[in-house]
Structure 1
Amino acid sequence: TEELLNARGGVFCEHHEEEYGERCRVVDCENDRVEDSMACQQHQALYKKHLKDKSRSNVSGLRRVLQRPAEQEEWQQPARANLQPHDEPEDEEAPRKHYFSPNRFYCIETMTAPCGVVIAWTKFAKSESPTKILDFLEKVFPIPALRPAYVCIDKACQVLRTAAVSGRWNSWKRTTRFIVDTYHYINHRKTDWLCREYCNPAPRDGSAPNLVGIQIDANGRIFEVREFNTQVAEQLNA
């Protein structure tokens, strides 16, 4: 993927900017653009609709930034509780109708150490699929002996399932355990056996002493504590 020729309002890289030239930015249209426009005369209505939608989106985003925390405006959709969007199948990408604005990356994926230092980052173009996450991990940690003991991510159960089905788990199982954050585990453990059995961020069977520790209170009573705040880890990555 090449950089945009003009990052302030441009759509194409240098190669495609020259290729399209003065052509209309609607897919498969061979007409010339109207001056100071991205579309030909035939597609002016589509271009004006794009500008209107883009302006409305920018205003909505500004309103979200300016509103007070937890404030819900009449024009906003109410948030659904316990939403786990990564549990849903990924939508197929709809074909583009025009090139009035550049493509956007789906997300920036960061890999963060427990201390908060970012180890690595990459851009995912169209989705945050388990396969892409595995590819990212293997690119950063190509040598099994140097891989971390734990990888915490909200899609850990999906990553584990994908690794097992594809045969890639054989290179990870001796060094690394994929765990989910506590929020995901609480909302997911009842319906997903694999998540409950293998991705528990705080197992109480003694299998993960680095995740669950033992402390003694002022009265001499022994109690268990989480040694690692997985929810903070997920927020750092987000």
Structure 2
Amino acid sequence: MLNQPNENLAWNPEVPRNVQPHDEEAPEVENKNYFSPKHSYCVETICAPCGVFIAWVKFAKAESPTNILKFMEDTFPDESTRPDYICIDKACLVLRTSIQNGSWDEWCKTSRLMVDAYHYINHHTTDMICRKYCNPASLDGSAPNLVIEAETKDGEKYLK
């Protein structure tokens, strides 16, 4: 039997959830009841642009940048298999962590981390690492296949 949203059955009490703000570290999740099924914090997936799943992993306690980096390294251990672009909502945090732990020296040869457009719009304008290196539509020519020139019906050219 499946629970419906906001339905609390007597035999399956509601599990308290910690809400993790986007750009902050995840708090530890405490298991208060050992008689209910074990819950994972999240399932992280890697999928190709066509929508085919390449890999997935369950994160028990946190979707931390170090967990994401380990998942990326486990999925793409060989440089020749790494994608050109990796779009993830926490790209700026993953980039910072990767720079700090030295793994960026290897990843920068093959891949570029970027946030999706929704998260880019909602990131702080003062986050210069995100603005410069994780921009999904950078105008510096570093991603020519992601930013194209289009034309309005009046013949005016613009970047799309």
Residue 201 of structure 1: how far off its partner (Å) = 0.5
| Structure 2 SS opposite 1:151 | strand
**What letter corresponds to residue 118 of structure 2 in structure 1?**
Y
Alignment partner, residue 70 of structure 2: 135
Q: Give CA-to-partner distance per residue, 1:139-159, whole Å, 9 cap, x none.
A: 111111221110000000010
Residues 35-50 of structure 1 mapped to structure 2, 5 A cutoff:
none
Question: Is 1:92 matched up with 2:24?
Answer: no
Deviation of 1:120 (Å) = 1.1
Match of 2:51 among 100, 111, 116: 116
Decide whether the 8 Å contact of 2:28 with 2:62 is kept in 1: no
Q: Which residue of 1 aligns with 2:38?
A: 103
Question: Once superposed, what is the RMSD of the aligned Cα atoms?
Answer: 2.4
Q: Deviations over 1:57-87 (max 9, x none)?
A: 39xxxxxxxxxxxxxxxxxxxxxxxx98221
- How far apart are the structure 1 equivalents of 2:130 and 2:85? 15
- With normalisation by structure 2, the TM-score equals 0.83
1:163 maps to: 98
* TM-score, structure 1 normalization: 0.57
CA distance in 1, matches of 2:83, 2:26: 28
Q: Point out the structure with the larger helix share.
A: 1
Write the distance in 2 (CA, Å) between the matches of 1:100 and 1:195: 43
Matched-pair identity in %: 55
CA–CA separation in structure 1 for the residues paired with 2:20 and 2:39? 23
Equivalent residues of 1:84, 1:184 under 8 A apart: no
Aligned counterparts, 1:176-215, within 5 A: 176-215=111-150
159-168 vs 184-193, greater mean Cα deviation = 184-193
Any stretches of 5+ residues in structure 1 without a counterpart? 1-7, 9-50, 59-82, 226-238
Letter in 2 for 1:216: E
Structure 2 spans left out of the alignment, 5+ residues: 2-8
Q: Distance in 2 between matches of 1:189 and 1:84?
A: 17
Aligned residues between the structures: 150
